[in-house]
């Protein structure tokens, strides 16, 4: 067996590669806590960090590497806490209906396929200035004015509520992402949205957004229909023109990454500009032998990528892609290898330092998983490609790239979205070449030619490419069994998988064996996930309950679409809401649904008559869920009313009767406080 001290000594040389892993451990520790860290916690983290730093500098060589890892983990913990405190903003604590005024800072589309706007400089009636919300997001159910544009001051009457709690105790917590986006309330309006004032011409903070929306509109005027909406999303980041049918087809075919500006788009854009400038400079003749053409091309590509970032907006995926591309182009400028694990480690570390909450986002996990896998496979592929016929190499490289990236991201997609596209590799093989060879190059040419009024042919060709991508997505998503539903794993599965895979790449000997054990443990935990699904789920507003049976989860009634959908997805159940509600279990009218749970009555009461019905149904041993507030709950049954659920959040009960609430699993954090 390999000498452990010798292994640690050699691992010290790989500290740079382990830096994002150690930072992630500290960030993950912060987000996994059930209580918000206090002064004592941060003081302890500072103490650990300082002591570890001292050991990393002065301890015997074998101790320096683990000491440095502890120091970086402490830094990650502190950075996450600092970031969470720095974005603190008021959150609405009650349901509000009344006048809302503010400045439009974002226009996008909700899952309901309706336009929604995000406002800042918000003013609400009866809300004190000290509790004024930094931002609110409102879905427009009424007519959308043609004059809607970023920077405009608008007013409306809207229903607002705090960011909603998770649909289940183990479900995704939207409140956390809303906290880091400073989103204090979400809601909707059925009344017309009125423009109070046009955008301020001197408001440079929204200049990029106004430019983005103007270019998006211009692109969609030249490329009609959904192909134009896809082109606008790719070039400007504006996805408000995409219909829900298009989004769903892209998701089911595993092509959704093509409409979210990410490393693929930034890489294609910068790669095209790099090649265009380098080969263009090569045509000037003798000076090209003297000029540093490679560095000039890298500098031009960096400028193009930065302009793309400015135009495409502040989405985390775009920022992450820019950091990765900038690090790689920077490596070219300083005569270092652009594609290496060190560049990936540096990009990941920079993003974790800047925005530690990125660690919890699927986009971060998928981007770095795919990039790392492709770099690790680059060496073997290069050796294998030498033995292949030259004409076949590009095609086989595309196949290999799709397979490697798909395999690396598949566990994350399955864990986070509870679905896998069975024909995603086929869709990517057909669509990604059009993206790289037609859509992105024509987009760059259109941008260059637009000031001369000559962008028409390039946009026409770009439309052919986006139309092809849409046809591929629609065709593949229509295959029978195109999507495989996956049961939601436990919270330890993804971290164990990530540590195991990273360990397999970066370690040898005993470290690699331990990494294999981590992967095996994650696999075993995931295999147990179906048996661990709750026997009964209660929605946070008592609007729905779901009972697990031999046929799958039965919904008490149709409705509560978002929550019901999340439950079925986590169960790995592809059944529609209507089919799940039609499964045999519940009886009675919609306002009083009855069944049996653990040999006792289970009741869901909704509507105005719910309190009156409860007196007759609340028998000893029964479990009653009622969508009402009861000042004096009756005795005799286990009762979950609105008042109790406001304290606990959604509830899960297992087959043995053990209760788990959202308040227990999510804890008392900055974003969970009422």
Closest CA to 442 of 469, 470, 463, 471: 463
Q: Give the span between the Cα atoms of 166 and 660, in whole angstroms.
A: 13
How large is the average pLDDT for residues 459-474? Answer: 93
Burial tier of 66 (Cβ tally within 10 Å: 0-12, 13-18, 19+): middle
**Assigned domain for 329 exists:** no
d(CA 212, CA 235): 9
Q: Could you give the percent of the chain with pLDDT greater than 70?
A: 95
What pLDDT is recorded for position 107?
84
pLDDT of residue 144: 76
Same domain, 370 and 516: no
- Number of other residues whose CB lies within 10 A of the CB of residue 261: 28
**Six-digit token string for 584:** 């045999």
Q: Decide: helix, strand or coil at residue 116.
A: strand
The answer on 369 and 232 residing in a single domain is yes
CB 568 within 8 A of CB 542: no
**For residue 205, what pLDDT band results from cuts at 50, 70 and 90?**
low
Say yes or no: 478 and 459 in one domain. Answer: yes
CA-based nearest residue to 460, from 258, 271, 221: 221
Shared-domain flag, residues 585 and 634:
yes
How many structural domains are present in the chain? 5
pLDDT score of 8 more than 70: no
565 and 607 in one domain? yes
Residues whose CB falls within 8 Å of the CB of residue 465, separated by 6 or more in sequence, listed in order: 434, 435, 438, 439, 442
Residue with the larger pLDDT of the pair 429 and 555:
555
**507 vs 183, more confident:** 183
Looking at the predicted structure, is the pLDDT value of residue 53 above 60? yes
List pLDDT tens digits, range 226-259.
999 998 888 887 777 888 889 889 888 888 877 7
Tell whether 480 and 371 lie within a shared domain: yes
**Assigned domain for 346 exists:** no
Average pLDDT on 415-419 reads: 89
> Does the structure show a pLDDT above 70 at 674?
no
Q: Would you place residue 380 in the very low, low, confident or very high pLDDT band (cuts 50, 70, 90)?
A: confident
Alpha helical stretches, state H, 334-455? 341-354, 362-385, 393-417, 424-434, 440-449
- Residues 239, 383, single domain; the answer is yes
Q: Given a cut of 60, is residue 109 above it in pLDDT? A: yes
Question: 521 vs 562, which has greater pLDDT?
Answer: 521
Full domain range(s) for residue 76: 4-86
Q: Is the dihedral of CA 505, 511, 512, 518 positive or negative?
A: negative
Cα-based distances in Å from 373 to 113, 206, 345, 368, 500: 35, 37, 13, 8, 14
pLDDT band at 435 (very low <50, low <70, confident <90, very high): confident
Q: Which of 201, 224, 258 is the last residue of a domain?
A: 201
Cα separation, 177 vs 172, in Å, equals: 10
553 and 481 within one domain: no
Question: Is the confidence at residue 184, as pLDDT, over 50?
Answer: yes
Does 366 reside within a domain?
yes
- pLDDT tens per residue across span 21-45: 999 999 999 999 999 999 999 999 9
Q: Is residue 43, in this structure, part of any structural domain at all? A: yes
Give residue-wise pLDDT tens across range 623-671. 999 998 888 878 888 899 999 999 999 999 999 999 999 999 999 999 9
| Maximum separation of any 2 CA atoms in the chain, in Å | 95
Whether residues 77 and 161 fall in one domain: no
Query: Are residue 12 and residue 112 in the same domain, yes or no?
Result: no
- Statement: residue 373 has pLDDT above 90: no
Q: Which pLDDT tens digit goes with each residue over 452-461?
A: 788 889 999 9
Question: Taking a C-beta distance cutoff of 8 angstroms, is the pair 462, 443 a contact?
Answer: yes
The answer to whether position 328 is within a domain reads no
**In a domain? residue 279:** no
What is the distance between the alpha carbons of residues 159 and 91, in angstroms, rounded to a whole number? Answer: 15
Which pLDDT score, from 0 to 100, does residue 385 have? Answer: 74
Question: Residue 426: pLDDT above 50?
Answer: yes
Confidence of residue 403 (pLDDT cuts 50, 70, 90): confident
The sign of the dihedral angle between the CA atoms of 98, 99, 105, 110 is positive
Residue 360's contacts (CB-CB under 8 Å, 6 or more residues apart) are 31, 176
Of 116, 92, 114, the closest CA to residue 104 belongs to 116
Please give the average per-residue pLDDT across 258-287, as a whole number: 77
- The residue from 178, 201, 224 where one domain ends is 201
| Predicted local confidence at residue 1, as pLDDT | 46
Between CA 237 and CA 151 the distance in angstroms is: 17
**For residue 334, is it within any domain?**
no
**Where is average pLDDT lowest: 207-216, 518-527, 643-652?**
207-216
Question: Among 93-97, 215-219, 647-651, which stretch is predicted with the lowest mean pLDDT?
Answer: 215-219
Of the given ranges (254-258, 352-356, 371-375), which has the lowest mean pLDDT? 254-258
168 domain-assigned: yes
3-state secondary structure of 576: coil
- What's the CATH code of the domain at 107? 2.40.50
Question: If you write DSSP's letter for every residue of 314-366 in order, what string do you get?
Answer: S-HHHHHHHHHHHHHHHHHHTT--SSSHHHHHHHHHHHHHH-GGGGGSHHHHH
Task: Indicate if 375 and 243 belong to the same structural domain.
Answer: yes
Do 549 and 588 sit in the same domain of this protein? yes
* Average pLDDT value for residue range 134-138: 95
Average pLDDT over residues 427-448: 84
> What is the distance between the alpha carbons of residues 277 and 301, in angstroms, rounded to a whole number?
8
């Amino acid at each position: 067996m390999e000498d452990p001290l010798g292994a640690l000594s050699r691992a010290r040389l790989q500290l740079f590669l382990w830096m994002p892993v150690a930072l992630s451990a500290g960030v993950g520790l912060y987000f996994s806590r059930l209580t918000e860290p206090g002064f004592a916690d941060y003081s302890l983290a500072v103490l650990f960090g300082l002591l570890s730093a001292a050991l990393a500098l002065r301890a015997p060589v074998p101790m320096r590497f683990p000491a440095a890892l502890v120091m970086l983990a402490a830094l990650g913990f502190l950075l996450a806490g600092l970031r969470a405190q720095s974005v603190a903003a008021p959150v609405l604590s009650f349901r509000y209906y009344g006048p809302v005024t503010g400045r439009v800072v974002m226009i996008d589309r909700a899952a309901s396929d309706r336009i929604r706007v995000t406002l800042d400089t918000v003013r609400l009636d009866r809300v004190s200035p000290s509790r004024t919300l930094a931002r609110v997001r409102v879905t427009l159910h009424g007519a959308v004015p043609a004059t809607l544009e970023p920077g405009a001051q608008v007013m409306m009457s809207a229903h607002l509520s705090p960011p909603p709690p998770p649909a289940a105790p183990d479900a995704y917590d939207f409140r956390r992402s809303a906290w880091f986006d400073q989103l204090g309330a979400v809601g909707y309006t059925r009344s017309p949205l009125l423009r109070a004032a046009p955008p301020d011409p001197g408001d440079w903070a929204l200049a990029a957004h106004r430019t983005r929306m103007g270019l998006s509109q211009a692109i969609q005027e030249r490329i009609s229909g959904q192909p134009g909406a896809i082109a606008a999303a790719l070039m400007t980041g504006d996805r408000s023109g995409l219909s829900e049918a298009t989004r769903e087809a892209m998701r089911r075919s595993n092509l959704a990454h093509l409409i979210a500006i990410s490393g693929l788009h930034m890489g294609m854009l910068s790669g095209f500009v790099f090649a265009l400038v380098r080969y263009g400079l090569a045509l000037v003749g003798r000076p090209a032998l003297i000029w540093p053409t490679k560095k000039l091309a890298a500098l031009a590509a960096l400028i193009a990528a930065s302009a793309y970032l400015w135009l495409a907006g502040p989405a985390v995926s775009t920022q992450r892609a820019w950091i990765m591309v900038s690090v790689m182009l920077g490596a070219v400028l300083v005569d270092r290898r652009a594609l290496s694990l060190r560049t990936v480690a540096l990009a990941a570390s920079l993003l974790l330092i800047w925005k530690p909450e990125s660690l919890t986002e699927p986009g971060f996990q998928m981007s770095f998983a795919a990039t790392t896998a492709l770099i690790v496979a680059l060496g073997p592929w290069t050796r294998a490609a030498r033995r292949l016929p030259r004409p076949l190499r590009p095609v086989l490289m595309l196949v290999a790239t799709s397979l490697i990236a798909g395999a690396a991201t598949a566990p994350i997609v399955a864990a986070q979205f509870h679905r896998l596209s069975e024909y995603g590799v086929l869709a990517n093989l057909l669509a990604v070449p059009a993206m790289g060879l037609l859509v992105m190059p024509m987009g760059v040419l259109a941008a260059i030619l637009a000031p001369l009024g000559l962008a028409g042919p390039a946009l026409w060709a770009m439309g052919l490419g986006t139309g092809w991508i849409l046809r591929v997505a629609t065709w593949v998503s229509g295959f029978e069994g195109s999507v495989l539903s996956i049961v939601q794993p436990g919270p330890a599965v993804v971290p164990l998988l990530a540590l195991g895979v990273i360990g397999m790449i970066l370690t040898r000997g005993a470290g690699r064996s331990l990494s294999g054990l981590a992967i095996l443990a994650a696999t075993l935990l995931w295999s147990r996930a179906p048996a661990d699904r709750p026997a009964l789920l209660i929605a946070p507003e008592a609007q729905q309950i779901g009972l697990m049976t031999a046929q799958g989860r039965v919904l008490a009634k149709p409705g509560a679409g978002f929550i019901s959908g999340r439950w079925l997805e986590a169960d790995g159940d592809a059944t529609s809401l209507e089919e799940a509600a039609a499964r045999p279990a519940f009886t009675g009218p919609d306002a009083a649904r009855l069944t049996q749970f653990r040999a006792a009555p289970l009741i869901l009461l909704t509507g105005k008559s719910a309190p009156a019905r409860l007196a007759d149904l609340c028998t000893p041993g029964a479990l009653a869920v009622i969508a009402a507030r009861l000042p004096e709950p009756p005795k005799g049954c286990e009762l979950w009313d609105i008042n109790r659920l406001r304290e606990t959040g959604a509830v899960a009960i297992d087959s043995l009767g053990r209760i788990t609430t959202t308040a227990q699993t999510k804890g008392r954090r900055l974003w969970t406080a009422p």
